[in-house]
Structure 1
Amino acid sequence: MTREEFDKNRRRFGDDIDAWPAPLREPARAFMARESDDALDRLVRQAALVEGDDGALARKVMARIDRRAPRPSLLPRFLVAPTGLAASAAALLITATIAGYQVARLQDQSQDSELLALAAGARLPDDGGPAIAGDAGEGDAL
């Protein structure tokens, strides 16, 4: 079967070779097998004849890979890792604890001074003004 006969029968009976009349099926299948082998041979010959620069192809592939590679982040990898996150959280907790103690100590100093003044016998005004020194000879009983 030639290409013209095959095309004529395909237009007449359709693309499904199994629907063609029985005497034409086998020659059509043989033609299709021969055509597919010829097409494959042509493709292989064309690929072998084409001059190509393997280095340029490799550079293009590497450029595409580099474009898809993640960019380095501003955070070091250590801080993003679970151990880095745990260490950072522990350092933050320790820093917050120390800062809390410092703030509490500063607030307690004024209270400690007032308590010491009261223990020494000084009277403290109700409005939070400066302490009034008590008279040492006056023996106020509590």
Structure 2
Amino acid sequence: MQKELMGINTLQLITFPLYDVKSSFLVVFEGGINIPFQVQRLFIVKSQEKSKRGYHAHKECSQLLIALNGECLITCDDGNERKEFLLNKPSEGLLIPPTIWAEQDYSFDAILLVLTDKFYNENDYMRDYNDFLTFRGVI
């Protein structure tokens, strides 16, 4: 059974509670509450120079991307339409559902936190854009 293909309109920006005091702030992330899934995996990407990463889609895995530092321009693609999101505050994250192609363009000081609803599985990745378009039925 094939996974439902998600469209670009299913992308969601999520704002997390931010508690700001004079010398610091606290942002709260809670799985199943303001994160719409139970977190199975998380990792951090730290850029030490302007760089680009991503260039893949997942067949079944959802991802939530949060810029902890710097900024990251996320370009998402459903095979028919592209949309860009600028992440630059730790109180905002981009929920990318399965079957959406994503590319990330990092500032020199970016730190991106990625939370997923699945464990790592290489077979879940579509790393070739033409294979992605074939999977989506575009070509």
- Whether these two folds match at TM > 0.5 is no
What TM-score does the superposition give when structure 1 sets the normalisation length? 0.16
Which protein has the bigger strand share? 2
Which protein has the bigger helix share? 1
Higher Rg of the two aligned structures: 1
**More contact order relative to length (CA 8 Å, sep ≥ 6):** 2
